[in-house]
């Protein structure tokens, strides 16, 4: 899911703690801040910290002054050969090519298993908004080709297009049949996306509070942190990629439930909106001296079911017989979605 959805889910979970609302009514926003921050923290750990310390076996760093697609293809083929020779997991970094303050040279990598080769084609120069600069598309017409000794199987449609900001990491995982599975962003959703990590951070908080003899803050903060961190992991588990749920007791990601993609517009909006409604309900429950009264069912009907039905009907009406013009979100892998979101948010 997108960062904002995780963030709001975290705030919603925090609002279930009566202590959070009581503290807020006294002017203390700590638990809600903790909730939102822990809701987004797993991605923060990956994208703001871990990826800069993640060691790679092969770094592909094209020369911005003399971009050579053949050299890039050769480097990628070398990584595959290294995997075959040493029969181990290879981590390959495809670095971006910055040409100026706002310009980047785009290149595309394709594993052609039919021909048994990897191809690299330099595309347009793009600006930081990923808009191609006119007249740059055919500056490098040649295609770099290098033979690879094994098939590299891409199980989902992650874009191996390198352009702005940081380039992607590719993991080449050896299979029993001698081929490799391609993993996009292997550093993502590793140890950071574990339920145990939330417990660990909660314990750290509690210990810090205990140093100041703040008993209540210790257990209340622990519950808030562990709960809000967990909701991120659980939400990600609804997608395809899954998470490494019990690191360090588990070493691999548990595959997700495939209910949605992390970039689905409707799923993200629903997560945000339902979080808002739950926060509202929790605030209402503990609000002193209310003159208005309503039930949870009433709130959900007015806030979710009726508007949702109207929206659904309106959408059907406005797109009646207009199937082609609907704009579904492009299907992509969760890691690809998270990666693109990070770049777009920047």
Partner 1 sequence: MSSFFVVLASVVAGTVVSGLLACLPGLHVYNVMGALVLGILSLESSGVAIPPDVFLPAMTGMVVGWSMINTIPSVLLGTPDESALFTVLPGQKYLMSGRGYEGTMITALGSLAGAYFLVLVVAPCAPVYLPVCQQVLKGHMHWVLWIIITFMIMSEWPKGGNRGRAGWAKFYDAWKTLLAGLATFILAGLLGFILLTRSPVSHEVAFQNIMPAFVGLFAVPWCLLNIISAADVPKQRITKSLDMNGDIILRSVWSGGLGGGIAAYFPIVTGGVGGMLAGHACAQREERIFIMGQGVSKFIYYVGAFMFLFVPGLNLTRGGGAWMVKTLHTPMGMGDYYMVLGCIAISAALSYLMMSPLARGTLWLIDRINYRHASTLALGIILVMVFAVTGWIGMFIAAVATGVGLLPVLFGSRRLNCLGILLLPIACNMSGFGEVITAWMGLT
Residue 325 binding partner 1, by CB under 8 A: yes
Judged by CB under 8 A, the chain residues 164 through 203 that form the site for partner 1 are: 165-167
Judged by CB under 8 A, the chain residues 113 through 152 that form the site for partner 1 are: 127, 129, 131, 134
Q: Quote the tokens at residue 293.
A: 């009264």
**Measured from the CB atom, is 183 or 334 closer to partner 1?**
334
Q: Please state the closest distance from residue 117 (CB atom) to partner 1, in A.
A: 26
Q: Please state the closest distance from residue 28 (CB atom) to partner 1, in A.
A: 7
Asked if residues 236 and 308 have their Cβ atoms less than 8 Å apart, the reply is: no
Percent composition of the chain: helix, strand, coil (DSSP 3-state, to 5):
45, 15, 35
Question: For tokens 């257990």, what's the residue?
Answer: 219
Residue 311 binding partner 1, by CB under 8 A: yes
CA dihedral of residues 309, 310, 311, 313 (deg, nearest 10): 80
Q: Please state the closest distance from residue 315 (CB atom) to partner 1, in A.
A: 5
Q: Please state the closest distance from residue 255 (CB atom) to partner 1, in A.
A: 21
Gyration radius (Cα) of the chain, Å: 24
Judged by CB under 8 A, the chain residues 51 through 70 that form the site for partner 1 are: 52-56, 59, 61
First to last CA, the chain: 17
**Measured from the CB atom, is 171 or 245 closer to partner 1?**
171
Residue 103 binding partner 1, by CB under 8 A: no
Q: Which of 48, 88, 251, 258 binds partner 1 (CB under 8 A)?
A: 48
Distance from C-alpha of 203 to C-alpha of 191, rounded to nearest angstrom: 17
Judged by CB under 8 A, the chain residues 290 through 309 that form the site for partner 1 are: 290-292, 294, 302
Q: Which of 75, 220, 224, 262 binds partner 1 (CB under 8 A)?
A: 262
Residues 6+ apart with CB under 8 A from 253: 189, 190, 193, 241, 242, 243, 244
Q: Which of 17, 36, 69, 83 binds partner 1 (CB under 8 A)?
A: 36
Site string for partner 1, 274-293 (x = CB under 8 A): ------x--xx--x--xxx-
Asked if residues 102 and 163 have their Cβ atoms less than 8 Å apart, the reply is: no
Residue 340 binding partner 1, by CB under 8 A: yes
**Measured from the CB atom, is 113 or 130 closer to partner 1?**
130
Residue 227 binding partner 1, by CB under 8 A: no
**Measured from the CB atom, is 40 or 238 closer to partner 1?**
40
Distance from C-alpha of 170 to C-alpha of 75, rounded to nearest angstrom: 13
Question: For tokens 């590299």, what's the residue?
Answer: 152
**Measured from the CB atom, is 302 or 309 closer to partner 1?**
302
How many Cβ atoms are within 10 Å of 103's Cβ, its own excluded? 16
Q: Within the chain, what is the greatest distance between any pair of CA atoms?
A: 75
Q: Quote the tokens at residue 77.
A: 């083929």
Q: Quote the tokens at residue 164.
A: 């702005």
Q: Quote the tokens at residue 150.
A: 């094994």
The count of chain residues that interact with partner 1, using the rule CB under 8 A, is 78
Q: Please state the closest distance from residue 346 (CB atom) to partner 1, in A.
A: 5
């Amino acid at each position: 899911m997108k960062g904002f959805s995780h963030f709001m889910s975290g705030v919603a979970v925090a609002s279930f703690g009566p202590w959070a609302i009581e503290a807020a009514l006294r002017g203390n926003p700590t638990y809600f801040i903790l909730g939102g921050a822990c809701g987004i923290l797993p991605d923060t750990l990956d994208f703001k910290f871990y990826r800069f310390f993640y060691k790679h076996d092969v770094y592909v760093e094209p020369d911005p002054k003399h971009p050579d697609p053949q050299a890039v293809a050769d480097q990628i083929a070398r990584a595959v050969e290294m995997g075959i020779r040493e029969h181990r997991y290879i981590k390959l970094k495809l670095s971006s090519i910055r040409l100026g303050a706002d310009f980047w040279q785009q290149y595309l990598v394709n594993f052609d298993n039919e021909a048994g080769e990897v191809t690299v084609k330099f595309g347009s120069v793009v600006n930081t908004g990923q808009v191609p600069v006119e007249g740059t598309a055919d500056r490098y017409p040649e295609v770099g080709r290098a033979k690879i000794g094994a098939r590299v199987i891409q199980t989902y449609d992650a874009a191996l297009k390198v352009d702005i900001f940081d380039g992607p990491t590719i993991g080449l995982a050896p299979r029993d049949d001698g081929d490799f599975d391609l993993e996009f962003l292997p550093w993502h959703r590793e140890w950071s996306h574990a339920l145990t990590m939330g417990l660990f951070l909660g314990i750290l908080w509690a210990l810090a509070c205990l140093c100041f003899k703040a008993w209540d803050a210790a257990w209340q903060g622990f519950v808030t942190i562990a709960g809000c961190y967990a909701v991120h992991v659980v939400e990600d588990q609804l997608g395809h990629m899954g998470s490494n749920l019990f690191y360090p007791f588990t070493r691999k990601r548990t595959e997700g439930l495939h209910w949605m993609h992390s970039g689905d517009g409707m799923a993200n909006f629903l997560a945000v909106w339902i979080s808002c409604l739950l926060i509202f309900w929790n605030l209402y429950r503990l609000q002193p001296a209310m003159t208005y009264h309503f039930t949870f069912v009433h709130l959900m009907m007015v806030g979710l079911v009726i508007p949702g039905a109207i929206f659904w009907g309106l959408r059907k009406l406005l797109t009646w017989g207009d199937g082609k013009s609907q704009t579904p979100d492009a299907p992509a892998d969760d890691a690809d979605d998270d990666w693109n979101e990070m770049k777009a948010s920047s």
